[in-house]
Amino acid sequence: MITSVTIFAEIVNLRNVLMTFSQALVFFFALLNPFLLSLYLMEIITRFEFKVFIGILTRGVIIAGMIFSMFALTGDAIFSKMLHVDFSSFQIFGGILFLIVGIRFFFEGPEAIGVLRGEPEHLAGSIAMPFLVGPATVSAAVMMGSQLSPTLALSAIWITMLSVIIGLALLKFSHDHLRERNNKLVERYVDITGRVSALMIGTFAVQMIVTGLHTQWPNGV
């Protein structure tokens, strides 16, 4: 027989699950903020037509979503059991990659990222890593997998992936629409945001390296 206490407990449990799901969704979306990503991807946004950009972006997001799903379901076992390495090693290496991108971006402008990514047909994978899949987002995926059921964890991941596509599509549309009317103003904006994003990428990269080093050697070398 179902009592009022049982019903109340179920309601509280459902409320806690929904709160955890909402918090995980908001946190993951904050890490993959479309506006912030647009700064990193400015060269691609300005270089390609809307249809081509959306195609590249969608493929990149799907690749990233599959990687996040894998980590949500398996946790950090991929590093500890399969590769026999610490997650901190991934943080350090990812930080070094971001630092290289940030330095080149600062001195050479947005075109530097295009050089690092290679030819257009390979851009989807380069968008996925390192700009979508990184130590912070992988950690978030692992956390969601440990706190939520597989169904809810995967739902949070793919809702975020869809939001990223929609958000960047809107920003790309706005960019193209404004560029037709104010080409010089948009070029000025691209140059300024490019320098700002280079500083952000570099700063974030250093923090990733420091975090990885601290995790690897908490008491110093």
What per-residue confidence (pLDDT) applies to 116? 47
CA gap 68, 155 in Å, rounded: 11
State pLDDT tens for residues 102-148. Answer: 787 777 765 555 544 555 566 777 777 767 887 778 877 887 887 78
Residue 135's contacts (CB-CB under 8 Å, 6 or more residues apart) are 87, 90, 91, 94, 95, 208, 211, 212
CB–CB of 142/71 below 8 Å?
yes
* 24 within some domain: no
In a domain, 208, yes or no: yes
Q: How far apart, in whole angstroms, are the C-alpha atoms of residue 69 and residue 153? A: 8
Task: Say if 10 falls within a structural domain.
Answer: no
pLDDT at 186: 62
In this predicted model, which residue has the larger pLDDT, 1 or 211? 211
pLDDT in tens, 151-208: 998 999 999 999 999 999 998 888 787 766 666 666 666 667 667 767 776 777 787 7
- Model pLDDT, residue 68: 92
Under 8 Å between Cβ of 48 and 56: yes
Question: Of 135 and 209, which is predicted with more confidence?
Answer: 209
User: Which pair of tokens denotes residue 120?
Assistant: 């257009």
Question: Cis ω on the peptide bond leading into residue 150 (within 30° of 0)?
Answer: no
Which of 67-71, 84-88, 96-100, 194-198 has the lowest average pLDDT? 194-198
- Does residue 31 belong to any structural domain of this protein? no
- Domain span at 90: 37-216
Q: For tokens 């995967």, what's the residue? A: 154
What are the residues whose beta carbons fall under 8 Å from the beta carbon of 201, sequence distance 6 or more?
A: 40, 98, 99, 101, 102, 105
Q: Residue 77, SS3?
A: helix
Radius of gyration of the chain (CA): 20
Rounded to two decimals, the pTM is 0.69
| Residue, of 39 and 56, whose pLDDT is higher | 56
Number of folded domains that form the chain: 1
In 3D, which of 85, 116, 87 has the Cα closest to residue 99?
116
Taking the C-alpha atoms of residue 7 and residue 204, their distance in angstroms, rounded to an integer, is: 46
Which DSSP state fits 148? S
More reliable by pLDDT, 77 or 158: 158
CA distances from 17 to 14, 73, 137, 185, 189 (A): 5, 18, 21, 47, 42
For residue 32, is it within any domain?
no
Instruction: Give the CB-side neighbour count of residue 216, counting CA atoms within 13 A.
Output: 16
- Per residue in 56-70, pLDDT tens? 899 999 999 999 999
Q: Domain for residue 101, yes or no?
A: yes
Residue 108 inside a domain? The answer is: yes
In this prediction, residue 66 carries a pLDDT of 94
Supply the pLDDT for residue 110.
56
Q: Provide the strand spans (E) within 66-110.
A: none
* Tokens 């130590």 -> residue: 135
